[in-house]
Structure 1
């Protein structure tokens, strides 16, 4: 036995296999359930305050940008159907160091969304009179009270227990909730548009774009991009898909199309249903100061109190369903990095049910800790959006590199015009990062440094005979890329010192991104190294596909 094979055997010993138990509908509902969460409950209000009626442009712009990134992920997920794909595609193309930075951002984003969805649920529930009278969940500024923290912990514990039971229960539970939480937004749109439509609202408070292009861009990380996050969750569970080559890409594309249609209709209904007097002189408080339940408030105002009751029920179901799925995605990412020796090996151990239990418990603990420094929905959105932008940026670079280095691999779905859409996707991700603001960006940079310390500790704990080569050269582009983005943000117009002229700042981000992109794809590992990595990671990860009934 060669030294390499011995290391691979040692690395895989005792890790167990994931079970291929999820079909197309389960995968599609997992992605759609992640997209339709707290974003629809709170996103329209948040973005309207920042951009006014031009928030519609923000939703269209975000849908186009995220659609390109979704199509990139659809090709990668079908070609490389492994668990935790957003961490492993860069690993295949650039080696362990890049794989870890991508996986760390992806894991951090996923593990923080479960608590953020719980906070959205509690924000809505606090609007119910009898709940507020009996238990004070939120402080006046929207942060959690001690009772709120206790209830939030119960939600997190429920998510954890469902994930530990098994992926089949997860998919079944999620499918039921997704049907409900997709129907409720559509019902809300139908009721509001049929009862009231104030066309004048679309030019009120200073015109269609009262805050100009800056407002449109600033609204993106304030809730718009966050609302679309989650399309890749089907890819995270590809290692548990019954027919990943056929189903993963279709699930991502269908979920993204449905989510885009729902969010555009919701924003139109929201703006049209507002009281014209509330927005005649500005958009600072379109539904009342401190109101965290905008659609329920509008439903009550137009005489549809029954709809408000349904919305309060959905305020529990929608965010809770999304939090449940994201906790699952976070555990698969930790599992993937455990298999790659980027995190301690226990992260990759699975139970007899095929569940990475240690990874599930880690996600629960970190989610609980997140309630302390980020005790409100708004406090987490920009940071999560910034992390998602970095995570998504790795995929277009990996796609281009793998097309060149591993072009003969079967690809059930192929991204059209990939030589154009690949770099475009990378630019879009970098722009989203820039628009997230310097405050979120530098904090994210600090978490990357913290992650590298975790990576170093994990590597030191791994026996020298089992360590993989780090491959520093393919990772050289990552550091100037991340440092450059933070530096541009420091002098930019979104939380920075505003030294860069308007529009020139966007041109600088675009040019910088393209330079990094084409430098990165030239640094990818060799074709043989890609093939070896894919073979080693896929072998023994999942049980064979069950025979057709």
Structure 2
């Protein structure tokens, strides 16, 4: 049992800034360049597509979050409608998708810092050197240490950092547009990716990765004073504010590039030799080198702030995984300050593994994006399950048109996974298969006392054709995404949309009994998880 309780000290602004602070991280430092390289001027559309996709999912979770106002509630949501086996699978997906993001942000800090403090990176691949590895471990340790503060101080520190993180990107837009204005850059002949590039950039250029932070408010629901009011405002508000900021940054980036740099190879060959930070390099190129200095400072603050708040939410997710029995229950222990301390130390230990020589920031972001969007895809299914099982339940935020928007959100989530490419999807599913085999061996061979416990196969079997169908669609898809080229890009999207709707119907027909869902929701809301 926990020694203490979480504290309900989070207000609306604190939760809004938690989500917004997670959205504005390393994505703004690298995303516009990678998006421009893949889609050229159509990268503006990439951000719009990514924002629309995330907003659909955010609307779904804005309804679900207040119904289960517990920290790490997305883990509890995954156990609602499709039995314990599916809940465990999604718990693992959620754990790895969350615990990997803070290390990626720390890596982004050192990638920028390497420009003026060389030695953090080794070779052209951009992986951490021995010195960089040690510094990364120490920096992640600082964020873990700060998270031992009570939640009120954690949110206060994050809010202060978020103010800076909003002001600097907004000022960067003004500086670049004031010093350089090249509307001819918006001509499509410079772009080589076309519409396909516009869509694939959503997953692989860091666009969807940048918006993942919206769910921070939901992850901290058990520490909110008024979750019914605060969660919808924080979730939806953070996505809308983040969209305006990122669209402005992409537009300023496109307009500021010297047309001469596009003369040979267009946007796909755009690079800033000798500098890792595209915005700082661009500021120097347009005659605002003084602003580049500010950007190098912000390159420490923005991703560091995101790593800090993701450490907070990752600990809550890990705590919830322990509560549900998908991992040792000791992870759910809370100290007298309301901190899930064992979960926090676990986040540190597992997060450190991501500092080993993995691929570059962009490649790692692609993997994480695929895993995280996969974790989001269950939300629309659960929303429709709860609408049927608990039609009259109190919903502080009720999504209008859920019968249309929830299926649309599920389709879009699967599109994003497809846009990430076959290699990313193969990596994701291979990791899940390994985890699944390990768990089944443990359950049926080692844990003899658990053999009699039902895993709920009849509620979760649809996941197997779901994962297989996603992989097959990607395998048959265009060659530029790693497929065989048997299905053109947009035809593949159409097939995947139809397949997604079939899977959605199957998932809704294999749900646990309505009364089981009602009892589960009532039990979650009856447990006094957080102290007032």
Does the TM-score normalized on the shorter chain lie above 0.5?
yes
Asked whether 1:239 is paired with 2:222, we answer: yes
**1:376 shift after superposition:** 2.9
* 1:142 alignment partner, one of 110, 126, 131: 126
Q: Does the aligned pair in 1 maintain the 2:182–2:257 contact within 8 Å?
A: yes
- Greater displacement, 280-289 / 251-260: 280-289
* 1:381 alignment partner, one of 332, 345, 365: 365
Describe the shift of the 1:426–1:136 C-alpha distance in structure 2 as closer, same or farther (beyond 3 A): closer
- 1:524 & 1:18 partners in 2: Cα distance? 31
- 2:106 & 2:184 partners in 1: Cα distance? 35
**1:292 shift after superposition:** 2.1
TM-score by length of 1: 0.92
Q: Does the aligned pair in 2 maintain the 1:100–1:342 contact within 8 Å?
A: yes
Describe the shift of the 1:31–1:369 C-alpha distance in structure 2 as closer, same or farther (beyond 3 A): same
Q: Does the aligned pair in 2 maintain the 1:342–1:455 contact within 8 Å?
A: no
- Greater displacement, 27-36 / 165-174: 165-174
Describe the shift of the 1:324–1:217 C-alpha distance in structure 2 as closer, same or farther (beyond 3 A): same
Q: Does the aligned pair in 2 maintain the 1:342–1:459 contact within 8 Å?
A: no
- Greater displacement, 69-78 / 458-467: 458-467
Q: Does the aligned pair in 1 maintain the 2:272–2:281 contact within 8 Å?
A: no
**1:373 shift after superposition:** 4.2
* 2:164 alignment partner, one of 177, 180, 186: 180
Q: Does the aligned pair in 1 maintain the 2:169–2:249 contact within 8 Å?
A: yes
Asked whether 1:402 is paired with 2:375, we answer: no
Q: Does the aligned pair in 1 maintain the 2:11–2:226 contact within 8 Å?
A: yes
Q: Which residue of 1 aligns with 2:351?
A: 367
* 1:104 alignment partner, one of 76, 89, 92: 92
Asked whether 1:266 is paired with 2:249, we answer: yes
- 1:375 & 1:155 partners in 2: Cα distance? 20
Residues 427-438 of structure 1: pairs in structure 2 closer than 5 A = 427-438=411-422
Q: Does the aligned pair in 2 maintain the 1:86–1:102 contact within 8 Å?
A: no
**1:165 shift after superposition:** 2.7
Asked whether 1:353 is paired with 2:337, we answer: yes
- 1:161 & 1:45 partners in 2: Cα distance? 33
Q: Does the aligned pair in 2 maintain the 1:237–1:329 contact within 8 Å?
A: yes
Q: Does the aligned pair in 2 maintain the 1:274–1:286 contact within 8 Å?
A: no
Q: Does the aligned pair in 2 maintain the 1:343–1:455 contact within 8 Å?
A: no
Describe the shift of the 1:405–1:93 C-alpha distance in structure 2 as closer, same or farther (beyond 3 A): same
Which stretches of structure 1, 4 residues or more, deviate above 4 A after TM superposition? 453-469
Asked whether 1:278 is paired with 2:261, we answer: yes
Q: Which residue of 1 aligns with 2:489?
A: 502
CA deviation vs aligned residue, 1:118-143 (integer Å, no higher than 9, x gap): 11111111222xx22xx453433322
Describe the shift of the 1:442–1:211 C-alpha distance in structure 2 as closer, same or farther (beyond 3 A): same
SS at match of 2:79: helix
* 1:516 alignment partner, one of 489, 497, 503: 503
SS at match of 1:83: coil
Describe the shift of the 1:462–1:530 C-alpha distance in structure 2 as closer, same or farther (beyond 3 A): farther
Q: Which residue of 2 aligns with 1:485?
A: 470
TM-score by length of 2: 0.95
Describe the shift of the 1:465–1:541 C-alpha distance in structure 2 as closer, same or farther (beyond 3 A): farther
Asked whether 1:224 is paired with 2:207, we answer: yes
SS at match of 1:490: helix
CA deviation vs aligned residue, 1:465-498 (integer Å, no higher than 9, x gap): 9997432221121111012111221221211222
CA deviation vs aligned residue, 1:426-450 (integer Å, no higher than 9, x gap): 0000000011111111111122123
* 1:61 alignment partner, one of 40, 44, 49: 49
Q: Which residue of 2 aligns with 1:7?
A: none
Describe the shift of the 1:373–1:508 C-alpha distance in structure 2 as closer, same or farther (beyond 3 A): farther
SS at match of 1:225: helix
Describe the shift of the 1:26–1:455 C-alpha distance in structure 2 as closer, same or farther (beyond 3 A): farther
- 2:126 & 2:507 partners in 1: Cα distance? 43
- 2:301 & 2:395 partners in 1: Cα distance? 36
Q: Does the aligned pair in 2 maintain the 1:438–1:495 contact within 8 Å?
A: yes
Describe the shift of the 1:268–1:393 C-alpha distance in structure 2 as closer, same or farther (beyond 3 A): same
Unaligned 5+ segments in structure 1 are 1-12
Describe the shift of the 1:178–1:463 C-alpha distance in structure 2 as closer, same or farther (beyond 3 A): farther
RMSD: 2.0
- 2:501 & 2:525 partners in 1: Cα distance? 32
